Structure 1
Amino acid sequence: MSRGSFVFTPMALRSLELDEDMLERHNYKKQVASHHFNSYMLKKEVRDRAQFRSGTTLPAAVCQDVVVQNALYTGDLEALQHFFPRGSTVNLIIEPQGGDMRWVCAGEGLWSLSYEQELTTPLHITAGRGFTDCLRLLLQRGANVDLAPGGTTALHESCENCQPECTKLLLVHGANANAVSEDGLMPLHICTSPESLECAKYLLQYGAAINGRTTEEDDTPLHVAARNGLQDHIELYLRYGAAVDKQNLEGLTPLNAACSQCQELEDLQRYFKVCHLLLLAGAKVNTVDQDKRSPLHMACKNVNPDIVDLLLANGACVNDMDYGGEAPMHNILKVVCYKISHQPERIVRALLNHGSIRVWPGALPMLLKHCSESPRTIEVLLNAYSHLKVTDIWVESVPPTALQEHKEFYQSVFSLQLTPRSLQHLARCTLRSFLNVRVHKVVPKLGLPTYIKNYLLLECRGYVH
Structure 2
Amino acid sequence: MTSRRKTFAAVGARSKVDGYDPIGRIHKAARNGDVKGVRRLLVRGGCHVNDIDKKNRTPLHYACAYGQGKVVALLVMMKCNIHLCDSDNNTPLIKAIQQQEEECVTILLENGADLNVQDPNGETPLHHAVYTDNTSIAAKLLSHNANIEAQNKDDHTPLLLALKENKHHMAEFLIKAKANVHAVDNRGRTALMLAVQYESPGIIKLLIEEGVDVFAEDQNGGTALCYSVASGCN
C-alpha distance 335-157 of structure 1, shift in aligned 2 (>3 A) = farther
C-alpha distance 284-136 of structure 1, shift in aligned 2 (>3 A) = same
Return the TM-score normalized by structure 2: 0.82
Task: Check the 8 A contact 2:65/2:99 in 1, yes or no.
Answer: no
The correspondence of residues 312-351 of structure 1 with structure 2, limited to 5 A, is 312-336=208-232, 344=233, 348=234
Which digits, 9 at most, give the CA deviation of each residue in 1:217-247, with x for residues without a partner?
Answer: 1211112112321111111111111111121
SS for the counterpart of 2:194 is helix
Number of aligned residue pairs: give it: 223
Which digits, 9 at most, give the CA deviation of each residue in 1:227-280, with x for residues without a partner?
Answer: 3211111111111111111212211111111111145xxxx4xx2xx3344334
One-letter code aligned to 1:207: G
Which digits, 9 at most, give the CA deviation of each residue in 1:330-380, with x for residues without a partner?
Answer: 4344445xxxxxxx5xxx3xxxxxxxxxxxxxxxxxxxxxxxxxxxxxxxx
Which digits, 9 at most, give the CA deviation of each residue in 1:51-93, with x for residues without a partner?
Answer: xxxxxxxxxxxxxxxxxxx65554279xxxxxxxxxxxxxxxx
Q: Could you tell me how far apart the structure 1 residues matched to 2:224 and 2:66 are? A: 38
Q: 2:143: which partner in 1?
A: 239
One-letter code aligned to 1:120: I
C-alpha distance 334-169 of structure 1, shift in aligned 2 (>3 A) = farther
The alignment-based identity, stated in percent, is: 26
Residue 95 of structure 2 corresponds to residue 190 of structure 1? yes
Q: 1:164 pairs with 69, 72, 89, which one? A: 69
Return the TM-score normalized by structure 1: 0.44
Q: 1:249 pairs with 153, 159, 171, which one? A: 153
SS for the counterpart of 1:155 is helix
Deviation of 1:193 after TM superposition, in Å, equals 5.0
Residue 186 of structure 2 corresponds to residue 290 of structure 1? yes
SS for the counterpart of 2:185 is coil
Deviation of 1:325 after TM superposition, in Å, equals 4.0
Task: Check the 8 A contact 2:97/2:137 in 1, yes or no.
Answer: no
Q: 1:75: which partner in 2?
A: 7
Q: 1:130 pairs with 25, 28, 33, which one? A: 33
The correspondence of residues 265-284 of structure 1 with structure 2, limited to 5 A, is 268=168, 271=169, 274-284=170-180
Q: 2:117 pairs with 212, 215, 220, which one? A: 212
Q: 1:203 pairs with 98, 103, 108, which one? A: 108
Q: Could you tell me how far apart the structure 1 residues matched to 2:108 and 2:78 are? A: 13
Q: Could you tell me how far apart the structure 2 residues matched to 1:229 and 1:277 are? A: 10
The correspondence of residues 304-383 of structure 1 with structure 2, limited to 5 A, is 304-336=200-232, 344=233, 348=234
Deviation of 1:124 after TM superposition, in Å, equals 1.8
One-letter code aligned to 2:194: M
One-letter code aligned to 1:300: V
SS for the counterpart of 2:182 is coil
Deviation of 1:308 after TM superposition, in Å, equals 1.6
SS for the counterpart of 1:192 is helix
Decide which structure has greater strand share: 1
RMSD across aligned C-alpha pairs, in angstroms?
A: 2.8
Which has the higher mean CA deviation after the structures are superposed, 195-204 or 293-302?
293-302
SS for the counterpart of 1:293 is coil
Q: Could you tell me how far apart the structure 1 residues matched to 2:52 and 2:75 are? A: 14
Deviation of 1:162 after TM superposition, in Å, equals 2.3
Larger relative contact order (Cα-Cα within 8 Å, sequence gap ≥ 6)? 2
SS for the counterpart of 1:209 is coil
One-letter code aligned to 1:75: T
SS for the counterpart of 1:322 is coil
Task: Check the 8 A contact 1:210/1:237 in 2, yes or no.
Answer: yes
C-alpha distance 76-159 of structure 1, shift in aligned 2 (>3 A) = closer
Task: Check the 8 A contact 1:139/1:145 in 2, yes or no.
Answer: yes
Deviation of 1:202 after TM superposition, in Å, equals 0.4
Decide which structure has greater helix share: 1
Larger radius of gyration: 1
Task: Check the 8 A contact 1:189/1:224 in 2, yes or no.
Answer: yes
* Uncovered stretches (5+) of structure 2, i.e. residues with no partner: 10-17
Q: 1:24: which partner in 2?
A: none
